[in-house]
Structure 1
Amino acid sequence: MVNLLTGPKGSGKTQQMIELANQQAKACNGNVVFIKNSHRDTRSVAFDIRVVCMDDYPVITNIDEYICFLYGMYSANHDVECIFIDGLLKHANINLEDVPEFVEKLKKITSQCGVDFYVSLSASKDDLKDVDFTDCALLN
């Protein structure tokens, strides 16, 4: 399932994502990955969650490369159950126009690999009018 957490910048989405990731780390049998833009604010993420900072991967510049990165992460560890992507619009030059295609590609990964995604976006639901919310959950 693809879970979307939307809201304006500064509305506490990152803290909500960290809390959700920590809950999932306790509840699931597999591994949890938390992808964020920089190395800041990772202290409150549980130690057993794999934190990936996109600043370490500057060659990922578009949604196709980002999706390949996610497939590579899964292929290296089939025990990944949940992937949290915090602040998607700060990663890899992704903008609002890319979100519908990105969500569709995440749905394919979910159906093929059984990985649940949690994605936070600094946008309102109205900004995402082109997103097909079938098989998605809005967390707010």
Structure 2
Amino acid sequence: MVNLLTGPKGSGKTQQMIELANQQAKACNGNVVFIKNSHRDTSSVTFDIRVVCMDDYEAIKNIDEYIGFLYGMYSANHDVECIFIDGILKRDHIKAEDMPKFVERLKGISAQCGIDFYVSISADKSELSNVDLTDCKVLN
């Protein structure tokens, strides 16, 4: 399942993502991964969540490379059950027009690997009208 958390910058999406990740860490049998853009604000993520900072992977410059990164993460650990991606549009080379392709690719990975994705997007739901929300859940 692909879960989307949308809203303008500064609307509290990151804190909601952290709370959801902490809840999933308690409920999941597998591993939870929290992907964020910088090394800030990791103290409120529970210790058993794997936090990945994308600042450490500057070579990832587009959606295809990001998807490859996710597949690599799964291939290294088949126990990954939930992946939280905070602020996908904060990556310099990923734009709102990339979201339809990105969400479709996430749906495929979710179905193939059994991973639930939670993605925060700094955009209003109306700005994502070209994204096929079939098999997605919008959390707000």
Give 1:116's aligned residue: 116
Q: Distance between the aligned counterparts of 1:28 and 1:92, measured in 2?
A: 32
2:15 match: secondary structure: helix
Give 1:49's aligned residue: 49
Q: Which amino acid aligns with 1:80?
A: V
Indicate the larger mover: 85-94 or 19-28: 85-94
- Report the TM-score when normalising by structure 1: 0.99
Q: Is the 8 A contact 1:5 1:120 kept in 2?
A: yes
Q: Which 5+ residue runs of structure 2 have no aligned equivalent?
A: none
Q: Distance between the aligned counterparts of 1:83 and 1:93, measured in 2?
A: 21
Identity of aligned residues (%): 80
- Map 1:86-125; keep pairs closer than 5 Å: 86-91=86-91, 93-125=93-125
Q: Give the Å deviation of 1:93.
A: 1.2
Aligned alpha-carbon RMSD (Å): 0.6
Q: Distance between the aligned counterparts of 1:92 and 1:32, measured in 2?
A: 25
Q: Which 5+ residue runs of structure 1 have no aligned equivalent?
A: none
Give 2:29's aligned residue: 29
Q: Which amino acid aligns with 1:77?
A: N
2:134 match: secondary structure: coil
Aligned length: 140
2:118 match: secondary structure: strand
